[in-house]
Amino acid sequence: MREIRNILAVSCGYAAAVIGAGFASGQEIVSFFLRYGKMSILGIIVAVFMFSAFSYMVLSCCVSRKIDSYEELLGALFKRDYTRKAVEYATAFFGACTLCVMTACAGEMGMVCFGVGKIYGALVFTVICCAVFMLNAKKILQINSVLGAVIIFGIVFTCFYILRYREHQTFVNGGTIVLSGASYAGYNLLTVGALLAGMSQYLNNKKEAFLSSVVSGAVLFLMIALIWGVLGIYYGKINLGEIPMLTMTIRQGKWLGTAYSVMLAFAVLTTGVSNGFGITDIVGRKIGRKKTALFAVMIAFCMSGSGFSKLIDVLYGICGYIGIGIVIMLMISAVKMRKK
């Protein structure tokens, strides 16, 4: 029973790291999949396969070698110091980019839900993140696992509810589907390595690592496919706004809109926490954890003024291709290490 609980905790924590504001809001699904039509389901399959394969690679390496930090994992995979540092810095860079996107989403939510200026929502989120980053790593992982379970249930329930009362049925065609799916997985995987390395302490062997990867992959596929299906009904028919899923839930009724707003706030927090954990784990070794946390949230607050959807299109697009290269490097190194 304890093994099952640990597997579910790791799976939910990993899913929570992937399910950020861009995911739960639907903006990422529109940008990377929906705009390419019905066949974009192939891109979703590619992305989910990469999520599961990467998870198993990291968890199995950490479990077999008793590793529980990203620094140790990179040290085991890369013998050259400059390669290891390049991967670490790229990971920290994307963590900072994601924190900027989360802060921007918090600003958008403040305006949509409470009618206040975007700067105030972003400011509240900045203060909360800074406080959470001061906690130790174990507490951060526990927060992500609990909130991850809440988010997964909320997204699945909401999507099924909207599909039950749908108004339209339409999709748009065309696009570079597989590359877009790989890019989507690539930028998400840049920072989750640090989180997975930390969560590996809850697993005992490679079998549990494999089951955790399969469960998390299945959960992610279900949620991506459901959001893809829901937004596909309305895409091109109505203005979905900066936060498409929140627009959809508000159309269904005030109670569902309010409930989804709370769940989306959890998603913003879990991703902000996950990426903050990655940044403080990497950069904190150089200048200290507290200084890193303060510096990161200040940059995110300043950048959030650029806008939620714009930051997703620009920052995530750049990081996606960087992420593909780094993930391939990590997997090749893991395969070589297993052979030895």
At residue 73 the predicted structure's pLDDT band, cuts being 50, 70 and 90, is: confident
pLDDT at residue 77 in the model: 80
* Whether residue 174 has pLDDT greater than 50: no
State the pLDDT at residue 212: 92
- How confident is the model over 104-127, as pLDDT tens digits? 888 888 888 777 888 898 999 988
Which pTM does this prediction carry?
0.78
The amino acid at 228: W
Where is average pLDDT lowest: 135-139, 260-264, 319-323?
135-139
From residue 226, alpha-carbon distances to 45, 83, 118, 223, 250 in Å are 13, 38, 29, 5, 18
Measured between alpha carbons, how far is 203 from 4 in angstroms, rounded to an integer?
Answer: 10
Quick one: how far is CA 327 from the chain centroid? 15
Give me the architecture of the 2-339 domain, per CATH.
Orthogonal Bundle (1.10)
